[in-house]
Structure 1
Amino acid sequence: LQALAAAGVPGNNAAVTKALAFLDTVQKSDGGFPNAPADTGSNANSTAFAVQGILASGADPQAARWKPTSSNPISYLLSLQQPEGAFTFGGQASLLATQQVIPALAGRAFPFLSRASAQRLALNFIRAQQQADGSFAGFGTGSTIDAVLAIDAAGGKPQQFASSAGKRPLDFLASKAAAYAATSAAASGKLLAGVVAADADPRHFAGLNLVI
């Protein structure tokens, strides 16, 4: 389930639905999950992975579906924690079980998204919002400057973002610069910041000197 989610398979996909149905059939009355269907008891490791799989599918491991009696997978895991903080496997404190339970209780499914990955995905989304004239969907000039600043902040190159028509953010901003800068000092300052972020000269931009 976690692998499917990482590959972009949606939670309503038939394979995901079947996998969740399988988990339904093997869940024990204590709310936990076993290593294999034939096993009679639950354990922390398998339950932690089951929880992460449920989370990866977009479902809630504490929902009624996963509460066969008075316990769900989360409450089962919590019942295994010892006073010193460890979680048990086979009745004994286990480092591996403890390591595997933590992500499940934190509500996290593998793979964890790093900041770099999050930025890359966000930049991909921003790129998809670019219009033919080089601007970005939203509220015109201001939205395009915001996009330029965000791209630069993430380590991207705003001028490498070209539209289907070959237009870049600065092409659009240059066409709107005079009117936008004239609206207020704040607008002029924002435009200056965007121009600098796109590696252009704010003293010579679209016939304007945005610095003075």
Structure 2
Amino acid sequence: MSCPSTLVLASTSRFRQQQLERLNIPFQAAKPIFDETPLAHETAPQTALRLAEGKARSLAADYPNALIIGADQVAFCGNQQLGKPLTTDKAQQMLSFLSGKTVYFYSSVVLLNTAANRIHRHTDTTAVTMRTLSENQIMRYLAQEPDAVHCAGAAKSEGLGTLLIEHINSTDPNALIGLPLFRLIDFLLAEGFPLL
């Protein structure tokens, strides 16, 4: 069977859409319907991978002959999972907690071939050491980077979040933004999807 020609990103995140647009390939974005609540006794990497796969599978019935990309990211520091703060107050608390610490970002990507019922899975780990930040620095950052409330750990690394970071250790610089492109490209090539 030939490779499905329809590529679907199971996300309405404009950050992930912008990342995928950089590959200059046609795709659709669709909103997944999936409960993103972490499960008890689930590790951060397990949460990220389960959510990425759940998002992709939630669209399978709507796209029976497609390649569906699911992605999710969970931040982990001090024995706790950190999601998206969604409010400025929570973002301020989160960044105060992360100040001077190393945060691990688990970014999962799956590619589901709905025609063949085949799935590829990967979780990328990025270690980010945060600078020691004052409350004033955190407040100024959040005032200038309102999108940070929609980022795991409240640090939008592709924007002003660069000012908060002292060091990054990663095998894929795209993963920290939310979509591990290097491994996604491997998955697309394995499915025969034309990239170049």
The two structures have a TM-score, normalised by structure 2, of 0.27
Using CA pairs under 8 Å that are at least 6 residues apart, name the structure with larger relative contact order, 1 or 2. Answer: 2
- Report the structure number with the largest CA radius of gyration: 1
Greater fraction strand: 2
Greater fraction helix: 1
The two structures have a TM-score, normalised by structure 1, of 0.25
